[in-house]
Structure formats: structure tokens, C-alpha cells
Amino acid sequence: MKQLVVIILMFNFYLAESSHAQEIAILKYGGGGDWYANPTGLPNLIKFCNQQLRTTIDPKPQTVEVGSANIFQYPFLHMTGHGNIFFTEEEAENLRTYLLAGGFLHIDDNYGMEPYLRKELAKVFPDKELTELGVDHPIFRQQFQFPKGLPKIHEHDGKRPQAFGLFEQNRLILLFTFESDLGDGWEDPEVHNDPQEVRLKALQMGANIISYVFKS
């Protein structure tokens, strides 16, 4: 019975995907963390992608809750924040079904969410672990070349930037960018006063992620 439910949801997902072929939504989660961080970031990335990649993404991304069936309307979800994250068991199951049905989640650590995230991802996929992507992964070699892997946008703890993934049958279903803070680099210039070359790297890497997902 459970397999039948998954098949039906997968079918509904692909029907929705056909009418939302290039759409992105912000994932709203519980726990008190600021899921709404970097308000200008994603709109700026979308504008960049529509200009550089000729995508046709809605310039105003919608917000969807983890436990909502509405997540199946979007092939790409983006999640960020600084603090605590909490998924109920129902939300974890909904997110798991979404990802296994063909959806994709990009999580960008805005600083401080990593320990909470790992705990909650264990609810979503107790049998999977985040795996670091090598610099040879195709996500770093889309329209823009990053031979050294994920760029460093903000210092935070001074650690090297890392890109982690969860896979299902060799398909990357979730990307977690850590110690990079791409989202800050996507924000309006006056928000963080990042140099133009740093912002450009963040936008180019973000465009690579979107390109990789929509081409897969």
C-alpha cells in the first residue's frame, strides 16, 4: 500500500513539474531558525540565471512548508538559515517522498545550522549519510568552471568550503553547501558589502546548481 502511495505521489509530482518546469520555492521549517534569511538572495540568483542561462524562473519565489503537499509543485527547493531546525515525523516523511519522487533540495548554511540539520536529516533518511562531493563532480563544471570546487564567500569559522550530497541510485537529490555561504553572496551588494568578484562567484556557483538540477 505504501509503495502505491509513493507511485501516485511521483505521478502527481511529474504532472506538476510539467507546468512548473523551472520553478524554485523557499522551504519553511520549524524549530525557530530563520528560514527567511537572505531575502534578496534567491531573487537575485533567479534574475542572474534568467539572464545568463536563459531560464524562465518566476522572479518571485514562493514559500512552501516542509509538510505541505505543495512542495510537489516545485522541482527545486532552497533552504537556508542560521539556527535551529526541526522536522516532525510527518514532515520528514513528506520531504523524503518528495526527494525520492524526483525533487531536489539545496541547503545553504547561512552559518550555525549544520549541527541541527544533520540531526533532522537523519529523520528524513536514517539509512543515508552526507557525502562530500569531489572537485570533479559535474555540478562544478556547468556553464561556469570551479576547478577547486565550492567557492569561499564568507569566512565564518575559517574552514574550507565543502559541498555535501545525499544520493539515491547515483542521483544527487540533496546538496548541502557548508562554510561557503553562497546565499550571502547572492544578496544585494549593500547588504554585506562583498566585492563584486566575490558576489559573481557566488552567483555563478548558484547558477551551476540550478543548471545541473534542471538538466538532470
What pLDDT does residue 42 have? 96
Across 17-161, where does the E strand assignment appear? 24-28, 62-65, 76-81, 104-109, 131-132
Which cell numbers hold the place of 130? 552526507
What pLDDT does residue 8 have? 45
Q: Give the chain's domain count.
A: 1
Range of the structural domain that residue 75 is part of: 2-215
What pLDDT does residue 20 have? 53
Spatial contact of 80 and 37, defined as CB atoms under 8 Å apart: yes
In the chain, which residues have pLDDT < 50? Answer: 1-8, 10-19
What is the layout of strands, in order, in the sheet containing 104-109? 62-65, 24-28, 76-81, 104-109, 171-178, 162-168, 131-132
Neighbours of 9 (CB within 10 A): 17
CA 94 – CA 36 distance, rounded (Å): 21
Distance of CA 139 to the CA centre of its chain: 13
What pLDDT does residue 193 have? 81
Query: Which residues make Cβ contacts (< 8 Å) with residue 110, sequence separation at least 6?
Result: 34, 37, 38, 80, 81, 82, 181, 183, 184
Helices 41-52 and 196-215 sit at what angle, rounded to 10 degrees? 70
| DSSP H or E stretch at residue 118 | helix 114-124
Q: DSSP characters for 146-184?
A: -TT-S-----TTSPPPEEEEEEETTEEEEEEEESS-HHH
What pLDDT does residue 216 have? 74
Identify the CATH number of the domain in which residue 117 sits: 3.40.50.12140
- The answer to whether the predicted template modeling score (pTM) of the entire model surpasses 0.95 is no
